[in-house]
Amino acid sequence: MRKFEPRDAHPVDMILRQCPEAAAWSLKSIEQLQQRGEIAWVIEIERGIAGFLVARVVLNEAEILNLAVDPSRRRMGLAAALLDAASTKFQRQRVVTIFLEVRKSNQPAISFYEKHGFALNGRRPAYYQNPTEDAVLMTRGLTG
């Protein structure tokens, strides 16, 4: 696992194209992650990007903006490793709460986040497009 670098934009874009349940971003948006002040990590396996996580921190709150793993590499603990790395970084930055949104229909992701201490905290109607769908809001508190 390592920090995202601009050269990772194309492999991350390829993962997103295979993951319709993830937040859909353009290649240009991925290329500009660091310029917007977002933090991101990738997991590299056999010289290829297998997954990534993007987040932002504002004061004592963090938001996970996107987390995806190549479908052929799922069920190997990669998403958990990315989430653990982000949580460790957040704790060092004195983050108190992590927020995220997930598609209402993405039950595997909701279950994954619940397994990792997140709780349902609300909904955003019609938050996602293509197809239009509600977002489920989830939060997790961090302790020092």
- Residues acting as catalytic residues: 101, 113
**Spatial distance between the Cα atoms of 9 and 60, rounded to a whole number of angstroms:** 28
DSSP 118: -
**Spatial distance between the Cα atoms of 109 and 47, rounded to a whole number of angstroms:** 26
DSSP 6: G
Query: What are the φ/ψ torsions at residue 132 (nearest 5 degrees)?
Result: -65, 130
**Spatial distance between the Cα atoms of 54 and 47, rounded to a whole number of angstroms:** 20
Cα distance from N-terminal residue to C-terminal residue, the chain: 23
Contact call for residues 49 and 37 (beta carbons, < 8 A): no
